[in-house]
A and B are shown apart, each in its own frame.
Chain A
Amino acid sequence: MSALGGPAQTGGVQPPTGMGLVLSIVLIIVALALAFFLVQMAGLIALVGIIVGGVLIAFGVHFVPVGGAPAAMGQAPGIATGVAMLAAGAGLAGLFGGAWAAPFGFAVALAGGAVGGGLLMAITCTMVNVIYVFGMGIPAASGKVAKDPITGDTFPEYKSQGTEGHGLPFISWVGGVIGGALGGLGGTLIYLELLDIYQAQLPVILNVTVEQIASVAISLAGIFAVGMFLMNAVLAAYNITGTIEGPHDPKFKRFPRAVIAAAAASAVAGIFAIALLGLVGVF
């Protein structure tokens, strides 16, 4: 019962099916209509924020250079870990910064989230190169392109025999930071939107002050942000089938598929998260 079929291994990028496209558009519209119907304008804005957040996460994952198992042997360029997990590490570190800055307003919190995610990736990517260069004596070389689009470095002569490249070329470093920043931005956006909703609704339902339910609102928004982050990151990881070198990788061109999928999935998960408190006390 091993590998019965699996993803079709054809050369080009398969476009989404017509049914898939129509379905995702219908789902997003229905979710937006429901959000407006249930929580009025605030709900609509919040859901738009959640969809944008999900899209940013899925798009950001495509920037993160991840080599998976071969990278741990210097057989392929990138960071030696799973793509969804590395993005989650960066995105959640961004969420940490964003949530901390939340009292200073929307823009500061979002920027704080983005910088937090980018900072984690900047330090991690630098340390990866430190290990490759000073621990293993291996220079960075991409396997997918011959020249670094930013610095113009050439790679084929720096690639050791029998491998697909190794280390993190500068373009992958930049990609990692952009990916981390987008992930942090998206995660923080989802968190802030949900936090607003819960902080507005919970005191009314329970007839208490905002301070008293602050921890409940923060926990709910936080755990939903984590859950939706992982859902979108895994969908994006399925799209790039495991490994990617960064924005110069041919696989990067697949991102529209993940963006559509993440938008629809976030819309559906988001509408349930927004409407969460609608039924409290009804039954």
Chain B
Amino acid sequence: MEEIVFGIGITALAGALATVAGAAEDTESDIGSQGDPNSQVQLAPQMGYIHRIFNKAVAGEPPAYGLWVALGAGLAWAFMAMQINPILAIVLGSALAVFVQGVYATTAYLGRTASLAKFGQPVYIDILKSMTTVTMAHAFVAIFTTVAMCHLMISALGHPFPLPLLGLVWGIALGAAGSATGNPFYGKERQYQEQKFGAGVPISASGNIVRYAEAGQRNSLDNGFFSAKLGGPASGICFGLIVFFELWRTVVFEELNIWGPIIVGIIVILVFAIIDRYIEVWARKTFGPYTAPEEASS
């Protein structure tokens, strides 16, 4: 019994760490316009819209985070092998991984922007100076929390994978959850906030991203401020729920029956199916169709 209570505590802590990681990950990638919204930042100058947005195209989010977290975990593992205290090792490993992330971010911006010379998009190096540091800070939070979570899974819950391999697995999952949840909010609601609310962006509007702010010109820090309001926390909840349920179903129900975690997992999936269906129906009822069908137009 005591073991289960201890396990539940670790599960809750891991879930909390994952929530922070997801929120930081999405905010970081939106400040850098990484992932799929990047295509619009890349397209805008070709359509004649010169902008001052950070264009940080480092692969997709899942592989990029797979690298940052695996790297942080690998370095932390190496420091621990050198008899350094685990907490210090994780901090040092994450800091070095963030250094690699920062360098990749600058080279991506310089490369993409220099290749757009034909369309008159200049390189604004003040963007690099002011925004790389902000993305690095967010990335540090995401990497540190994820590596710490992985370390907990091994040392407290006894997962068989070594730390770097676990970092790779959860890093890719973190990137997948963060990009899936957070990207549409940044891509549609922020890049195209001049378009109508409650509708997708018409394909004809592609590239016409918002480039001016309330005062002056928009930069990516404004985007981070916006993402932190909904996209980031939602990504955090998404990743936190994934980690929490994944651990919870095993830690609590494995003692009862070895098939317990699987049955509970299926039940959780069904619960989410009901939630999803409810949201979908609620949206259809509340928002209504865009063009009323003929027979219903009274």
Q: Give A residues with C-beta under 8 Å from B.
A: 68-75, 79-82, 85-86, 88-90, 92-93, 95-97, 99-102, 104-105, 108, 111-112, 115-116, 118-120, 122-140, 151, 153, 157-170, 173-174, 177, 214-215, 218-219, 222-223, 226
Contacts and interface: CB of A to CB of B under 8 A. Distances in A.
Chain B binding surface SS class: helix
B62 A108 contact: no
11 contacts: A74-B200, A96-B169, A100-B159, A122-B268, A126-B272, A128-B181, A131-B234, A133-B282, A160-B199, A161-B202, A161-B290
Interface in B172-196: 172-173, 175-177, 179-189, 191-192, 196
B166 A96 contact: yes
Contacts of B112: none
B161 A99 contact: yes
A119 B181 contact: no
Contacts, number: 287
Contacts of B196: 160
B62 A81 contact: yes
B258 interface: yes
Nearest to A181: B269
Contacts of A173: 273, 276
Nearest to B181: A127
Contacts of B172: 85, 88-89, 92
B86 interface: no
B275 interface: yes
B289 A116 contact: no
B169 A128 contact: no
A218 B158 CA distance: 14
A79 B182 CA distance: 10
B276 A218 contact: no
Interface string B255-298: 00011011001101100110111011011100101111100000
B120 interface: no
Contacts of B276: 122, 125-126, 129, 168, 170, 173
Given A80-B179, A102-B160, A119-B245, A88 B202 contact: no
Chain A binding surface SS class: helix
A169 B280 contact: yes
A75 B200 contact: yes
Bin chain B's interface residue count: 35 or more
A70 B206 CA distance: 9
Contact of B242 (A71, A93, A129, A162): A93
A99 B159 contact: yes
A215 to B, nearest CB: 6
A137 to B, nearest CB: 4
Contacts of A71: 36, 183-184
A186 to B, nearest CB: 15
Contacts of B170: 93, 96
B241 to A, nearest CB: 5
A135 B182 CA distance: 10
Top 4 nearest A-B pairs (CB, nearest first) are A89-B176, A162-B202, A72-B187, A74-B200
Contact of A100 (B160, B180, B290): B160
B223 to A, nearest CB: 13
- Max chain B Cβ within 10 angstroms of own Cβ: one of A86, A123, A134: A123
B250 interface: yes
